[in-house]
Amino acid sequence: MNLLLYGAPGSGKGTQANMLREHFGIPHIATGDMLRAEIQAGTELGRKAQPILAAGQYVSDEIMIGIVRHRLGEPDCTPGFIMDGFPRTVPQAEALDDLMHELDKRFDRVIYLKVPVDDLLHRLSGRLVCPQCQRTYPPGTAACAADASVLVQREDDKPEAVRPRIEIYLEKTVPVLDHYRHGRLVSEIDGRGTIEEISSQVLTAVASKNGQPARAAHAVVKKQKA
Ligand code: AP5
Ligand code: MG
């Protein structure tokens, strides 16, 4: 099962990827999380990437394609993966096509979480993240549910970086959706309901590809919540 989560900053990609990772037991490949881990570790890549992320701009295609090429070659990706934050430009999408072809893999579904800009701005300004495991939480959450770390604000969620992130998404990442629409892979989901409602719709979209009845996907979410 290879899934691609697509959507603007703050649309809920990371939130739904966490659910999918637990549901399917496959790794979550989040290029933003990978870059933040490099920054935290103080690597050469991290030192180069830090000011780019802080300004809400994109790291070069060449670097990002190299990172993803390396990650997809790791053995835990063999049963499948959830891609989040890549591709973000048309050249990245073309490189990913080539890479998937080389690896004899294909995407089962592209999930597009569609959220209006005003909601994105509201969500990003209040978002909290765990500095250890990168899980994201809504405003007011005290500590990480997974490891009890004190939550922090992401550097690029500060007001000066949020607008540029939305602008570069509109300019460079919106055209990526057409790349996948041609292959009829895209399930478009209104990302404005509760997290649980969106999770049900995501699972239904994934299941519809596999020919499972939609009811089964909803039942799984209810069971997980119980
Ligand atoms: P990245 O980490 O990928 O950031 P992003 O795409 O801007 O997306 P976010 O992580 O901000 O949002 P999300 O969709 O995951 O939302 P979340 O689930 O957290 O990339 C960061 C940076 O790295 C980029 O700006 C760039 O510099 C660089 N980079 C990464 N990949 C790159 C690439 N391929 N090429 C070049 N550069 C790259 O949810 C947001 C908030 O909303 C949370 O508080 C959450 O609790 C809340 N929320 C979620 N769902 C709901 C809901 N249904 N209702 C209400 N609140 C909700
Ligand atoms: Mg994210």
* Size of the chain in residues: 226
pTM: 0.91
Ligand (nearest to CA of 16): 1
Closest atom of ligand 1 to CA, residue 36: 23
> In this predicted model, what pLDDT tens digit does every residue of 73-96 receive, in sequence order?
999 999 999 999 999 999 999 999
Could you give the C-alpha distances from 116 to 25, 27, 53, 104, 163, in angstroms and in order? 31, 28, 22, 36, 14
Which residues 6+ apart lie within 8 Å of 182 measured at CB? none
184 among known catalytic residues: no
What's the rounded mean pLDDT across residues 131-159? 91
Q: Which atom of ligand 1 is nearest to the CA of 154?
A: 11
Tens of pLDDT, residue by residue over 36-70, are 999 999 999 999 999 999 999 999 999 999 999 99
Residue 217: both structure tokens together:
């996907």
Interacting residues of 27 by C-beta distance below 8 A, sequence separation 6+: 21, 76, 77, 81, 82
| Pocket probe mutation, ligand 1, options 6, 52, 123, max atoms within 8 Å of Cβ | 123
The 10s digit of each residue's pLDDT in 93-141 is 999 999 999 999 999 999 999 999 999 999 999 999 998 888 888 888 9
> Across the chain, what does the average pLDDT equal?
91
Active site (annotated) includes residue 127: yes
Which pLDDT belongs to residue 174?
96
In percent, how much of the chain has pLDDT > 90?
Answer: 81
Give the atom of ligand 1 at the shortest distance from the alpha carbon of 157.
Answer: 11
Q: Ligand 1: which residues within 6 Å by Cβ?
A: 7, 9-15, 31-32, 35, 52-53, 56-59, 64, 85-86, 88, 92, 123, 127, 136-138, 156, 165, 191, 193-195, 198
Quote the pLDDT of residue 182. Answer: 80
Tokens 């870059």 belong to 35
